[in-house]
Amino acid sequence: MPLVGGRELLFEAERLGYAVPGFNVSNVEMALGVIDAGEARRAPLLLQFNAGNLDHIGGLAVAAALGRTLAQRASIPIAVHLDHGTRLDRLREAAGAGFTSLMFDGSTAPFEQNVRQTREAYAIALAAEVALEAELGHVGGREPGVSTSEMVLTEPDAASRFVEATRVDALAVSVGTAHGLAGEINLDLVAALRASTRGLPLVLHGGSGVRPEQLREAVRAGIRKVNVSTEIHAAFTAAVAAAEGTDPRPALRRARAAVAEAASARIEALGAALRA
């Protein structure tokens, strides 16, 4: 299956009524683990890299090369996504390096500044022919590589004005979850945001730790992409911590399998299985 764009994955998720998982990975084994899960469940997915992951893995060029190579070898549709890009020059660099999906995060800025910068980000994505995700409201919580502040829920009226002004392909919304293993989804707010943005694909950040039944309800309400990071990082860390001996490879294989198991559970909850 060739490498695909984020817009293509969002279109199929919208057409068939599921949410595509976006897995934030920070090393080769984690990337392989989520692809193992996707192939076993026949699910499309996004390999995602935020600033903390990029610093660990060796930078944008290395992440793009790794993501693109693994995607091109896989049997399922995979997009390579820049998560929480906060600088326009970083988005340009990512597009040039071969990322097939971008996120601009101006969520901690005042509304008008977020609109202005997101419009500039949209021009970058449009020129590169890749999808652009933006964020309005602020999810909050703590995650390496993500700008944090207190949670600010997304207001439907503001979302309507933001989407009309920016023309983004997807909107990350703050509806009660947080980066890390926490949060309850405000399903009424999801439905209101879906209506106010005229059916635009909505993105849920902070998908780790959310109860599967809540995720299924959120998908029914209009969520079309869900980010997962802490859950698969925790699975990886626990497997490595149990290692014995001096050869790291057996531990890394177990960690890859642990990531695949955690990713598989999220894929099933999002309705993404058997969609590839």
pLDDT in tens, 161-172: 999 999 999 999
Q: Could you read off the pLDDT of 49-89 as tens digits, one per residue?
A: 999 999 999 999 999 999 999 999 999 999 999 999 999 99
Q: Model confidence at 179, in pLDDT bands (50, 70, 90)?
A: low
Residue 89 is a catalytic residue: no
Q: Could you read off the pLDDT of 221-237 as tens digits, one per residue?
A: 999 999 999 999 999 99
Please tell me the predicted confidence (pLDDT) of residue 139: 79
Q: Model confidence at 184, in pLDDT bands (50, 70, 90)?
A: confident
pTM for the predicted model, two decimal places? 0.94
Task: Please tell me which residue, 243 or 46, carries the higher pLDDT value.
Answer: 46
Fold type of domain 6-269: TIM Barrel (3.20.20)
Please tell me the predicted confidence (pLDDT) of residue 176: 86
Mean pLDDT of all residues in 24-39:
98
Decide if pLDDT at 43 tops 90: yes
Q: Under a CB-based contact definition with an 8 Å cutoff, are residues 154 and 195 in contact?
A: no
List the domain boundaries for the chain. 6-269
**Cα 121 to Cα 127: distance, rounded to the nearest angstrom:** 10
**Catalytic residue of the set 83, 105, 157, 247:** 83
Q: Under a CB-based contact definition with an 8 Å cutoff, are residues 222 and 191 in contact?
A: yes
Decide if pLDDT at 18 tops 60: yes
Decide if pLDDT at 148 tops 70: no
Please tell me the predicted confidence (pLDDT) of residue 269: 97
Burial 149-166 (b: 16+ CB within 10 A, else e): eebeebbbebbbebbebb
Residues 6+ apart with CB under 8 A from 10: 20, 131, 169, 170, 201, 224, 225
